[in-house]
């Protein structure tokens, strides 16, 4: 049976499963809250004195699901929520009774929970249990928001503009919220029923309660939502939002100073009720943070997390199947230059993104569609002849187009099937890449078993060489409910599977099998709130040649105490001969034997003024002729100086004695060496939050890494063993493989939210980098050498303004109504947050 037949058979099976699930949708009784329309919008000030709140139905009788399941609150800690609406927004009022002296209210950045009590509203206009919009309000007055579904969990990179206000009372705290319809996706219906949930957390003991009871032992959170009844005559607004911005940049490096001023705009447009177009018309990513560079001695590329907001927000559909790694768009140029001995090249670190657009959304019946497109500029490297001084330019990345198409179907409140295609087209004779994945995430009606599968095909067009088509798959089946759980998984990729034009795949040529067994508790017992044991094993082979690669087994334990401390430990054993086919860089195996590693971690209660995180690990080999010993530890104390100031210091130390690995290559022959490696990292972060709209932040990191090889070096035999008989040593190599690597980064930022969705951000950055062969230098000597290197200083000032087309329409309507009268309407165009 060929691959196409397998895919067709799987699609038919999934189609039948879909029909069965759609006929057995979760039908348990749901809590219902009836809503009434208001003719007068309540003032969002945290004071619940409007008449509308006197007549609204009350949502109360909250039930706990963490750490105890099913607990009710006494009257003096009860929660009462009321809700109303008009043609523009949903309004929520909540009275959260409590002892005001016990309410935690640390001020932190937006979307950061900190040590703060919170109240949340979860709305699902499709009422499908899978696509939630979450709004959080903290007792400090700060906000957080997220979109959520079973595939991605909660995505806090999504940001909306909405209003909230908080007031502390003698017997608790009150909240008022305005959620404009522009923040929600819904179709026009006469009497819609929306999914609804309210949640509250007491931070001092991490107790969390919901209006509609939740069973945390099985199923996704959305399955337990209640319903909002009584909505009538809602019309989705015109969803057209502009984010014009300007950034002024001063960049000083090695005595040269450059200045620039950029103008740009991001746009969000609701194409239909449920589908939105996001576009960055003139991209500006100048305020994306520095990457935390580390020395990479391994065979696989070094990657970093995405920091550009356009590529982090609303990309859940595009992430399905693992085919999309957004750092490929505008990342480092792909072409490697071939230079003569007397040539040196100046290669740009990144490719300029000319524009990027994404369209995404989901219909009422569960169909999702995502379209992504980005265009990058042709990029040149300057190559200089060191003898003559002459220079020339070569293309290192041509004009390129990146696009993704996703079609997704959700059903049954807990399952989904997706088809994803990614495509990269480069101008000229540069390679093109295409990849397709069929993904299924299926959960049975009782939410006790899950089956996931991914079938992926790739095609790379090398232009002047034959194209290659590869195949990869992933399968997971397991019990996902109750205390006792187990699972089995399988990963496969042939030697031609290649998705790295737009995706991220560190390796192919794998045929891996895994199993996991766990036992966990969900309610307090003894001194613990919960604990979990897990045991695992993995068996790995290559596809070509069909041969054994590696085997390991182990386990772990984690526990959370009633004092809100946490700790855990782990053990990993790789018995017998293990074959690493990648360290050599030429496909031959490198053998090591009987590897054992173990470690533990602890995290104290962050509610305390002083808290600490720490972990430590050791590992070794039980192999004749090897004397490997590695240990590492990390300690991270944190001090909450006040509710406005938090300081976190981090120190890590990693020492590897007797490690062996790739050092260099001579005439296509890999040279390996035994080495000692020492890594020290110091970091400091601090945030001072004046109020929810003014924040000052500092991050600092110094990373120092030394690699010191033994004098005699190895070559690799075909049987996987190492030999010194080739006679290579440090003296007869052209380049010294010893390394002294260090970096220094400082980021100082100030952010002011001067109007809803509108920010002024000032950012100062400082960076130093050093790479040399002085591996014997100590810490102070290396630091001194680092500060002799050229320093980069960047200062940028960015202003971004939020413009809602509906507010602009309101402005013109008011002008027409007041024609002939002297009226200042500008102050009435946009609502401002109320400072608590």
| CATH classification at residue 113 | 2.60.40.1190
Would residue 122 count as lying in a domain? yes
With left for phi above 0 and alpha for psi between -120 and 50, is residue 146 left, alpha or beta?
beta
Rounded to whole angstroms, the Cα distance separating 85 from 90 reads 4
Rounded to whole angstroms, the Cα distance separating 633 from 655 reads 9
Residue 749 CB partners (closer than 8 Å, separation 6+): 695, 696, 697, 698, 761, 762, 763, 764
Question: Residue 812's pLDDT is what?
Answer: 58
Among 423, 285, 279, residue whose Cα is nearest residue 358: 279
Residue 796 has φ and ψ, to the nearest 5°, of -135, 145
Tell the residue number behind the tokens 């991050």, with chain if given: 699
Would residue 588 count as lying in a domain? no
Residue 317 CB partners (closer than 8 Å, separation 6+): 360, 368, 369, 370, 406, 408, 418
Query: What is the per-residue burial (b if ≥16 Cβ within 10 Å, else e) of 763-779?
Result: bebbbbbbebeebebee
Would residue 214 count as lying in a domain? yes
> Hey, what are 782's tokens?
């290396």
- DSSP E strands in 50-142: the ranges are 63-66, 79-85, 89-97, 118-124, 132-138
The low-confidence residues of the chain, meaning pLDDT below 70, are: 1-28, 809-836
Report yes or no: 520 and 570 within 8 Å, Cβ to Cβ: no
Rounded to whole angstroms, the Cα distance separating 98 from 170 reads 9
Would residue 293 count as lying in a domain? no
Rounded to whole angstroms, the Cα distance separating 675 from 352 reads 39
Beta-sheet pairing, 79-85 with 36-37: parallel
Burial of 149 (0-12, 13-18, 19+ CB in 10 A): buried
Beta-sheet pairing, 89-97 with 240-253: unpaired
Report yes or no: 180 and 162 within 8 Å, Cβ to Cβ: yes
Query: What is the per-residue burial (b if ≥16 Cβ within 10 Å, else e) of 729-751?
Result: eeeebeeebbbbbbbbbbbbbbb
Among 240, 191, 234, residue whose Cα is nearest residue 86: 234
What single DSSP character describes residue 503?
A: S
Rounded to whole angstroms, the Cα distance separating 108 from 114 reads 6
Rounded to whole angstroms, the Cα distance separating 462 from 365 reads 41
Question: Residue 151's pLDDT is what?
Answer: 82
Q: What is the dihedral of CA 382, 388, 390, 391, to 10 degrees?
A: -10
Among 750, 759, 752, residue whose Cα is nearest residue 801: 759
Would residue 196 count as lying in a domain? yes
The SS3 assignment for 814 reads helix
Query: What is the per-residue burial (b if ≥16 Cβ within 10 Å, else e) of 94-127?
Result: bbbbbeeeebbbbbbebebbbbbbbbbbbbbbbb
Rounded to whole angstroms, the Cα distance separating 145 from 320 reads 22
Would residue 172 count as lying in a domain? yes
Rounded to whole angstroms, the Cα distance separating 113 from 228 reads 27
With left for phi above 0 and alpha for psi between -120 and 50, is residue 428 left, alpha or beta?
left
Among 701, 670, 699, residue whose Cα is nearest residue 687: 699
What is the DSSP code string of 384-452? EETTT--EEEEEEE-SEEEEEEEEEEEETTTEEEEEEEEEEEESTTS-EEEEEEEEEEEE-TTS-EEEE
C-alpha neighbours within 13 Å on the C-beta side of residue 423: 10
> Hey, what are 515's tokens?
């199993």
Question: Residue 822's pLDDT is what?
Answer: 37
pLDDT, tens digit, 9 for 90 and up, residues 80-116: 999 999 999 999 999 999 999 999 999 998 999 999 9
What single DSSP character describes residue 805?
A: H
Beta bridge partners of 616: 600, 633
What single DSSP character describes residue 525?
A: B
- DSSP E strands in 444-581: the ranges are 449-461, 468-479, 484-493, 510-520, 528-541, 548-561, 566-580
Would residue 237 count as lying in a domain? no
Q: What Rg value do the Cα atoms of the chain yield, rounded?
A: 29
Which domain covers residue 192, as residue numbers? 31-229
> Hey, what are 462's tokens?
């090398």
User: 133 to each of 26, 122, 156, how far by Cα in Å?
Assistant: 20, 6, 10
Among 244, 193, 300, 229, residue whose Cα is nearest residue 83: 229
Residues making up the chain, counted from first to last: 836
Would residue 189 count as lying in a domain? yes
Rounded to whole angstroms, the Cα distance separating 50 from 84 reads 12
pLDDT, tens digit, 9 for 90 and up, residues 121-148: 999 999 999 999 999 999 999 999 999 9
Residue 491 has φ and ψ, to the nearest 5°, of -125, 140
How many domains does the chain divide into? Answer: 1
Tell the residue number behind the tokens 């996706």, with chain if given: 185
Among 378, 369, 445, 453, residue whose Cα is nearest residue 414: 445
The three state secondary structure string of 285-322 is: CCCCCCCCCCCCCCCCCCCCCCCCHHHHCCCCCCCHHH
Question: Residue 349's pLDDT is what?
Answer: 85
Among 279, 426, 420, residue whose Cα is nearest residue 357: 279
């Amino acid at each position: 049976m060929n691959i196409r037949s397998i895919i067709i058979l799987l699609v038919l099976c999934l189609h039948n499963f879909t029909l069965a699930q759609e006929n057995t949708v979760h039908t348990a009784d749901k809590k219902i809250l009836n809503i009434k329309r208001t003719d007068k919008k309540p003032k969002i000030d945290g004071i619940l004195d409007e008449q509308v709140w006197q007549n609204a139905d009350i949502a109360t009788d909250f039930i706990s699901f963490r750490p105890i399941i099913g607990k009710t609150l006494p009257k003096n800690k009860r929660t009462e929520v009321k809700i109303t609406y008009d043609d523009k927004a949903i309004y929520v009022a909540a009275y959260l009774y409590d002892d005001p002296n016990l309410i935690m209210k640390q001020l932190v950045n937006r979307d950061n929970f900190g040590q703060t009590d919170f109240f949340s509203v979860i709305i699902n206009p499709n009422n499908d249990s899978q696509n939630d919009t979450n709004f959080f309000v903290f007792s400090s007055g700060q906000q957080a928001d997220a979109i959520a579904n079973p595939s991605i969990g909660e995505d806090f990179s999504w940001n909306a503009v909405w209003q909230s206000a908080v007031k502390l009372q003698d017997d608790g705290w009150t909240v008022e919220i305005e959620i404009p319809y522009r923040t929600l996706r819904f179709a026009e219906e006469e009497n819609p029923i929306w999914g609804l949930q309210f949640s509250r957390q007491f931070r001092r003991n991490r107790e969390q309660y919901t209006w509609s009871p939740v069973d945390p032992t099985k199923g996704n959170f959305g399955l337990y939502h209640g319903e909002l009844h009584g909505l009538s005559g809602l019309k989705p607004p015109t969803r057209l939002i502009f984010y014009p911005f300007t950034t002024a940049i001063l960049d000083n490096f090695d005595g040269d100073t450059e200045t620039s001023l950029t103008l740009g705009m991001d746009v969000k447009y609701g194409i239909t009720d449920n589908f939105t177009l996001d576009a960055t018309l003139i991209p500006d990513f100048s305020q994306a943070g520095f990457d935390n560079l580390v020395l990479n001695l391994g065979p696989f590329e070094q990657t970093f997390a995405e920091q550009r907001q356009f590529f982090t927000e609303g990309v859940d559909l595009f992430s399905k199947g693992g085919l999309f790694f957004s750092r490929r768009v505008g990342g480092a140029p792909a072409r490697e230059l071939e230079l003569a001995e007397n040539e040196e090249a100046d290669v740009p670190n990144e490719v300029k993104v000319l524009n990027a657009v994404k369209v995404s959304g989901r219909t009422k019946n569960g169909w999702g569609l995502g379209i992504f497109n980005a265009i990058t500029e042709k990029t040149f490297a300057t190559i200089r002849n060191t003898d003559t001084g002459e220079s020339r330019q070569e293309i290192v990345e041509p004009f390129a187009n990146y696009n993704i198409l996703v079609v997704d179907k959700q059903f049954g409140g807990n399952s989904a099937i997706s088809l994803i295609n990614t495509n990269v087209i480069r101008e000229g004779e540069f390679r093109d890449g295409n990849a397709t994945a069929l993904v299924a995430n299926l959960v049975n009606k009782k939410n006790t078993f899950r089956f996931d599968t991914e079938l992926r095909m790739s095609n790379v067009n090398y232009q002047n060489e034959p194209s290659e088509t590869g195949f990869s798959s992933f399968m997971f089946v397991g019990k996902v409910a109750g205390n006792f759980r187990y699972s089995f998984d399988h990963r496969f990729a042939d030697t031609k599977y290649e998705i790295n034009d737009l995706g991220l795949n560190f390796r192919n040529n794998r045929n891996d099998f895994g199993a996991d067994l766990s036992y966990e508790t969900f309610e307090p017992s003894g001194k613990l709130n919960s604990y979990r044991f897990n045991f695992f094993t993995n068996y790995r082979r290559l596809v070509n040649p069909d041969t054994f690669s590696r085997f390991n087994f182990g386990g772990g334990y984690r526990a959370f105490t009633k004092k809100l401390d946490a700790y855990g430990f782990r053990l990993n054993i790789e018995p017998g001969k293990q074959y690493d086919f990648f360290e050599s860089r030429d496909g031959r195996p490198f053998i090591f034997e009987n590897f054992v590693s173990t470690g533990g971690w602890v995290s104290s209660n962050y509610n305390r003024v002083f808290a600490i995180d720490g972990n430590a690990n050791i590992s070794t080999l039980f192999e004749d002729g090897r004397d490997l010993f590695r240990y590492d530890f990390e300690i991270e104390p944190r001090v909450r100086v006040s509710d406005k100031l938090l300081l976190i210091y981090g120190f890590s130390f990693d020492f590897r004695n007797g490690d062996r690995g790739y050092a260099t290559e001579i005439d296509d022959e890999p040279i390996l060496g035994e080495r000692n490696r020492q890594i020290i990292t110091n970091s400091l972060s601090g945030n001072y939050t004046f109020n929810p709209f003014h924040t000052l932040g500092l991050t600092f990191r110094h990373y120092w890494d030394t690699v010191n090889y033994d004098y005699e070096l190895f070559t690799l035999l075909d049987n996987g063993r190492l030999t010194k008989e080739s006679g290579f040593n440090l003296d007869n190599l052209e380049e010294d493989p010893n390394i002294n690597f260090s970096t220094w980064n400082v980021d100082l930022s100030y952010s002011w939210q001067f109007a809803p969705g509108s920010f002024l951000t000032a950012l100062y950055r400082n960076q130093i980098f050093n790479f040399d062969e002085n591996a014997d230098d100590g810490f102070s000597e290396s630091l001194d050498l680092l500060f002799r290197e050229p320093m980069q200083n960047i200062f940028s000032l960015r202003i971004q303004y939020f413009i809602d087309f509906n507010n602009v329409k309101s402005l013109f309507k008011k002008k027409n109504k007041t024609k002939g009268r002297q009226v200042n309407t500008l102050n009435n165009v946009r609502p401002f947050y109320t400072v608590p």
